[in-house]
Amino acid sequence: MTKLGKLAKKFIKKPGTVSYKDMRKLLLAAGFEQIKAKGSHVKFKNCSAGINIIVPVHGMDCKEFYKKDILKSTKGLIENIK
């Protein structure tokens, strides 16, 4: 299993323990692209799945409940990362 696959398993089990930097890697590996946004918000878009995510990032991390919400909406895509 690759490092990215291990990171995906960690994110599924305990999303609050994964840093924003690692969560960003997972989203990009799952087919999302990062779109520029103003201020402290970062947008991710997956055209094939029709999912748009807005993540408020403060101090190079985001709050745990945002990570849990992101996991709920992307779980199927994250599980496919190996």
Compute and round to an integer the Cα radius of gyration of the chain: 12
Please give the single-letter amino acid code of residue 15: P
How many domains, the chain? 1
Mean residue pLDDT across the chain: 92
What is the Cα–Cα distance from 26 to 55, expressed in whole angstroms?
14
Task: Indicate which CATH number applies to the domain containing 43.
Answer: 3.30.920.30
Q: Which domain holds residue 65?
A: 3-79
Tell me: the pLDDT tens digits for 32-66?
999 988 888 999 999 988 999 999 999 889 999 99
Cβ–Cβ < 8 Å for 71, 78:
yes
Could you tell me the pTM of the whole model? 0.91
Q: Which of 46, 59, 51 is nearest to 20 (CA)?
A: 59
Cβ–Cβ < 8 Å for 17, 33:
no
